[in-house]
Amino acid sequence: MKLMIVDDSSIMRRAIGKYLSVLDLELAGTASNGQEAVTLFQKVLPDLVTLDITMPEMDGLTCLEKILRIAPLAKVIVISALSDPQTGLRALKLGAKSFLPKPFTETQLVEEIRRILGGVK
């Protein structure tokens, strides 16, 4: 299964990649803003996307909408420091499979990915 990581923080992109290295996922690519993410998504068509909300050029919620227009069944986990309930609910209503507030632990992220992907190892 292919993974794409989208976050404007290179530290966060590396951390998510490291955390998820325990899973049987291929890192298909990373993006630092929403516009870059949409372009990359069209090229690599990943099975799973981790997506930040607050980013330059295009925010994560707009990016989520565009990704789901390309692939309505895409599995997207929104990961954001904006942990207010309205943000998470809006992401879920738009079609995200999950909302994980920052900061999160490696265990929280891995368990959420396994839940969404149906127990991937």
Per-block average pLDDT, block size 10, for the chain (121 residues)?
A: 96 94 93 97 97 93 97 94 81 95 92 86 63
The whole-number pLDDT of residue 95 equals 97
**Is the distance from CB of 113 to CB of 20 less than 8 angstroms?**
yes
The type of residue at 117 is L
CA distance 55 to 63: 10
Count of CB atoms situated within 10 Å of the CB of 6: 31
The whole-number pLDDT of residue 85 equals 77
Q: 32 by DSSP, 3-state: which?
A: coil
Domains and CATH numbers, the chain: 2-117 (3.40.50.2300)
CA distance 40 to 74: 14
**Is the distance from CB of 47 to CB of 22 less than 8 angstroms?**
no
pTM: 0.93
Looking at residue 120, the DSSP 8-state letter turns out to be -
Going from the C-alpha of 70 to that of each of 23, 89, 91, the distances in angstroms are 26, 22, 17
CA distance 93 to 90: 5
The whole-number pLDDT of residue 50 equals 97
